[in-house]
Amino acid sequence: MKNYLLIALVILMCNCSSNQQWTYLFNGEDMEGWHIYLKGKENFNGWYVSDGVLVFDPSNRTEATNADLVTDRQFSSFELELEWMISEKGNSGIFWGVIEDEQYKHTYETGPELQVLDDNWTEYVEERGDRQRAGSIFNLIAPSDIVSKPAGEWNHYVLHIDHIQNQGFVVFNGVEILKFPVHGAEWEKLIANSGFKDSPGFGMAQTGHISLQDHGNQVAYRNIKIREF
């Protein structure tokens, strides 16, 4: 009887795993499912779609204001997969757990950031250190390996955030470069030892928006998909 129960449990777990379907956050055609943080959908202010690619180009701005892009939906535990390409000496980022509220003027006040950077920008990396290079959780955790491709080439990220198991990891161009907690005492210690220690809302939300950063440099994203746990 115990063996039958064990087999049934294994089958149930497999079925649950198979139900974790991928959903595309970017349809490759338009800005459906996205808006500008605190500003809505009336003006995407530098973001546009070209040949199935989501592009930010600061020369296309119509307003001299920041235009971080955020998902309409909010997410808690998920795996996010995407490709990104940055311009020379370019900087961008991918946030999760973003709280969209007027009390927070910027996405980085609440959402941790998986850094997107031209790693060949030597002056930046030498000045800021490995906790701000590509593959870092910005200003919190440095990547274990340097595996980025140069500006103008596509890079691949898998960002895994699981608040159920309190596990996060990043796979960068096929290499796991980070493992970290996503809440609790260890996570709070990382924040306390960072430049976000005086930001009370930072990294605290277990449900929030995903955001792509306007850092004033040209950047492109494609094949953006997610599966929730």
All structural domains of the chain: 22-228 (2.60.120.560)
Residue 164 has pLDDT above 60, yes or no: yes
Q: How far is CA 184 from the centre of its chain?
A: 20
CA angle 44, 69, 111 (to 5 degrees): 155
Q: How far is CA 177 from the centre of its chain?
A: 15
How far apart are the C-alpha atoms of 101 and 148, rounded to whole Å? 34
What is the structure's pLDDT at 20?
A: 76
For residue 155, which phi and psi values (nearest 5 degrees)? Answer: -115, 160
Band (pLDDT 50/70/90 cuts) for residue 117 is very high
Residue 12 has pLDDT above 90, yes or no: no
The count of residues in the chain is 229
Beta carbons of 56 and 46 less than 8 angstroms apart = yes
Nearest to 154 by CA among 221, 105, 93: 221
Q: How far is CA 17 from the centre of its chain?
A: 23
Beta carbons of 215 and 93 less than 8 angstroms apart = yes
What is the structure's pLDDT at 8?
A: 44
Nearest to 69 by CA among 104, 101, 93: 93
Predicted TM-score (pTM) of this structure? 0.91
